[in-house]
Each structure stands twice: as structure tokens, then as C-alpha cells.
Amino acid sequence: MNSRTNETNETLVLGATGKTGRRVLARLQERGRPVRGGSRHGVPPFDWEDPTTWGPVLDGVGAAYISYYPDLAVPGAPEAVRAFADAALERDVQKLVLLSGRGEEEAQRAEQALLDTGADVTIVRCAWFMQNFSEDFMHSAVMDGQLVLPGGQGQEPFVDADDIADVAVAALTEDGHRGQIYELTSPRLYTLTEIAAELSRATGRTISYVPVTVEEYAAGAADHGVSPELVGFLTYLFGHVFGNNAYLTDGVQRALGRPPRDFEAFAQAAAARSAWELEPAS
């Protein structure tokens, strides 16, 4: 590698409009770091399915946050991530930080593919995001007052996307994170029944959990116009991942020297920002 540093070269943030990517981008900007967002609508554009777009976004970059779309659990993801890493190393990108998931075989293969390069790699392996309830596919369920999901009574240590972004930025901008696998969770395991109770307290409304089978969930999602690809992905996650990693980790503490945020604190803060505010009746 040459003498370029992350302070003088741009940091590439893939998935710059996603839940973690936009938070990483904002934190780097707040620190005065030169940054470049990688997305299909960026300039230059980036598309995981078009390798010809990879080189232009990597030119002049010193570090990269890698968020694979749609998810590392998708077949072919490890090969794509390794190919992207090779393209980055050819351009002397100095640090690679990979967003990964817990309990996903393809995700762990992608992690190993990056680590095998021998580069300065940090893995940020995450539990389910708390923000799924405030910004993503479960937001409408909270607004409707019913979490109709195939989670049974499985437990998950939902992690705050702000914690993920803080860890990623630390790995991108500081020394001492090379080769680390930071598995991130909250400080407590939750069932969806307990999540519904926390959301009820935060919103001041009754939010209930309605358990359904994976098959019922898939059929309902399809009836609501969800694409077959997304239906398949979500049913995979609920059928094979959710509830199968019911343990806590110290990843946030190791990376940042502070404890992770709890779901109760997340829900109260999101409610204060009007994340679940109902439209006034006409």
C-alpha cells in the first residue's frame, strides 16, 4: 500500500441510503471526513449486479463500508463480495468494513472471503435491527397495532442501527480493529410479545403480537403486493434465522468501550421523534 491515508482519501459507503449506510455517511461527514455514497442513483452510480460500476466508485477511496444488497444470505453474495474486495485492493483501498448477519451461512462465507484476502478487514456482524419497527417493513404493522409475524416465542437481541454505525465508523477511522469480528446485540433478549409491550408503552397505544406460521405470513405478504423475491427472503429469515441466535454478545462494548443500547431506550426515543405518530382524524 502507498502512503495515502483515510484522512485525505474518500471513504466509500455502500448502501448509502439504507438504514446503516446513511448513518455511517452522516457520522463521517460530521467528523469532516471526505465521503462518497455508493448507490444506484449516486454519482458515479454503483450496482452490485454490474461490476463495471465498481471501479469508478473505488477510484481515490481509502476505506470502504460494504453493505451487500439485498442481503449476504442470498446465494452468490460471498463471490460478489470477494470480487468487490479484489477490485478495492487493486486500487489500494486500505480498510474494508463488512456489514454481516448472525446465523446466516452465506454471510459467514462472505466474511471469510474477505478475511482470506489478508487485507485490513473488520466484520460487523449484527442481530435483527430495532429500526425494522420504525423505518422498515414492520413499521406499518406497528401503525396498525398488530405485529402479525411468524416469530413464535423465539428470542432475539435486536440491535440499534446507531450502534452499528458507531462501530463501523470506529473501524473505518481508527486503528486497532483489523481482523476483528464484532458481533453486535442489545443487552437483552426479547420475544415479539415483549417487543409489542415495549412499543405499547412508547406509543401510548395497544400494540399486540399475533403469531402466525411462516406459510401464513408468506401468503399474507404476497396478498399485500410484496414481491416474490422479498417474500422468499423474509420467510427464510423467519424460518431459519429468527430465534436461533438467542444469546448476547459484547461486540459493542469491545469496539466502543460502552454498552449497547436497549430496545426500551430505542422505542422511547423513536416515539419522541414521532416515528409512530398517527395522522389526526379528519
Quick one: pLDDT band at residue 231, thresholds 50, 70, 90? Answer: confident
Taking residues 68-81, report their average pLDDT. Answer: 91
Q: What DSSP character marks residue 242?
A: T
Which sign does the torsion angle of CA 33, 173, 83, 59 carry?
A: positive
Is the pLDDT confidence value at 3 over 60? Answer: no
pLDDT score at 8: 66
Distance CA(21)–CA(8), nearest Å, equals 21
Whole-number percent of the chain with pLDDT over 70: 96
Give the span between the Cα atoms of 144 and 51, in whole angstroms. 41
pLDDT computed for residue 263 by the predictor: 98
| Number of Cβ atoms within 10 Å of the Cβ of 100 | 26
**CA dihedral of 127, 19, 231, 193, whole degrees rounded to 10:** 50
Name the grid cell of 146: 398488530
Domains of the chain plus CATH, in order, are 10-126+159-184+247-260 (3.40.50.720)
- pLDDT tens digits, 189-229: 999 999 999 999 999 999 999 999 999 999 988 888 888 88
Model pTM?
A: 0.93
Q: How far apart are CA 93 and CA 82, in angstroms?
A: 14
Give the model's pLDDT for residue 5: 43
Q: What is the pLDDT of residue 229?
A: 81
The four Cα atoms 257, 262, 267, 268 give a dihedral, to 10 degrees, of -70
Q: Which helix (H) or strand (E) holds 182?
A: strand 181-184
Report the run of H or E that residue 121 belongs to, with start and end.
strand 120-126
Strand partners, 211: 149
Q: Is the pLDDT of residue 6 over 70?
A: no
In eight-state DSSP terms, residue 119 is S
Q: From the CB of residue 150, how many other CB atoms can be counted at a distance below 10 Å? A: 21
The answer to whether the CB of 249 falls within 8 A of the CB of 183 is: yes
Grid coordinates representing 63 are 476505506
**CA gap 137, 17 in Å, rounded:** 16
Confidence of residue 7 (pLDDT cuts 50, 70, 90): low
Residue 2 has what pLDDT? Answer: 38
10 Å CB burial of residue 232 (0-12, 13-18, 19+) is: middle
Q: Give per-residue pLDDT as tens, 23-52.
A: 999 999 999 999 999 999 989 999 999 999
- 164-196 per-position pLDDT tens digit: 999 999 999 999 999 999 999 999 999 999 999
